[in-house]
Amino acid sequence: MTVPPAFVATARCLWQWEWQRLMAGLAPADRDGNFQRRPSEFAGAGLESQLEQALQGAGRLQLVVGRSCPWAHRAWLVWRLRQLEPSVQLLIVEPDPKAGRWVFPEPRFGCNSLAELYQLCGAKSKARATVPLLLHPGDGSQKASIINNESAELIEILNFLPSPSSYAPNLLPSQRLVDINHWINLMQNDINDGVYRCGFARNQAAYNRAEAALFAGLAQLEGALLKQGPWLCGSELTMADVRLFPTLIRWEQVYAPLFRCSRSPLFSFPALWAWRARFCSLPGVLDTCYPAAWRRDYFGALFPLNPSLIVPAGPSSSEELFALIQATMKP
């Protein structure tokens, strides 16, 4: 049976209207259709005071992350690279896409969900319960409290917490701060947020702006690595590298197919491709990568972008993902 053209046109208009409503709840945008990230609830309180609070809680601190969140991934990476396991406990929450929230596999502090924990810690009633967050569990006379939940600030706190290992890297060396901040400022808007600006754009013009900035940013990174490598700031691994990795490791699994970041495959940037493989080879990095969870949580939860909720096939483990990256590098 042929569907009447008038019915198709009506359905298209209705879906477009409903899609705009769904997107407004998922990802706010400005008047021109550009995605706008919401601020974090516990950000901007002063890193010095938050670092002091974290140091006082050393040995009892808890870092809460989710496997699919790239902002949590950067905190997980710093925790792993600096070998903070003895002083900071890692807690992994799981997504509940039907309820649109993060939940604990087992109750923590009497809370089943991350939203409940936020309320326990004094967050505003409408605050978004996001990951990552650095938590002071409190004691008999003090309730649990959130030290920070803004990834850009939280990873700086983690970098300056004492590490039990003399080999743990300082990811913010003073002699590299100018270069580090240069790349962080570029990546945050054009690359880390840039993929979301592509995926959550409300119209063609907003997408075109985001997509052009994204690939221009990748080209700049490619040029820097060709010129000075092996890392973005030269011979030392820095926070700039950490902040880039969660975006590039999700490229083929999520951002190219779902967010339409598909002008050029990542292997068309050979220096970036080699950089990603080099980062994967760092101790403990693959332990933070869950490609099957990434695909499940993005394709299975972002209904406005994938109404069928069909999750594509792909590597099931970090080892399979790394093998694919290495295989593509071979002549």
Write the pLDDT tens digit of every residue in 31-86. Answer: 999 998 887 767 666 677 787 777 776 678 999 999 999 999 999 999 999 999 99
Q: Which of 94-98, 145-149, 318-322, 327-331 has the lowest mean pLDDT?
A: 327-331
CA atoms within 13 A on the CB side of 230: 9
57 versus 230: which is more confidently predicted? 230
d(CA 176, CA 159): 15
pLDDT band at 140 (very low <50, low <70, confident <90, very high): low
Mean of the pLDDT values across residues 120-127? 87
Average pLDDT, the chain: 92
Dihedral sign computed on CA atoms, order 8, 10, 13, 15: negative
Domains of the chain: 47-160 (3.40.30.10), 174-329 (1.20.1050.10)
Structure tokens at 68: 């699919």
pLDDT for res 186: 96
More confident residue, 125 or 97: 97
What percent of the chain clears pLDDT 70, i.e. is strictly above it?
A: 95
Query: Which pLDDT score, from 0 to 100, does residue 331 have?
Result: 43
Q: Mean of the pLDDT values across residues 112-132?
A: 92
199, 255 Cβ separation under 8 angstroms? yes
Number of Cβ within 10 Å of residue 309's Cβ equals 11
Q: Which two tokens stand for residue 168?
A: 């743990």
Candidates 136, 139, 118, 147; CA nearest to 45 is 147
Q: Is the pLDDT of residue 196 over 50?
A: yes
The 10s digit of each residue's pLDDT in 210-225 is 999 999 999 999 999 9
- Number of other CB atoms surrounding residue 316 within 10 Å: 13
pLDDT on residue 43? 65
pTM of the model: 0.94
pLDDT at 11: 83
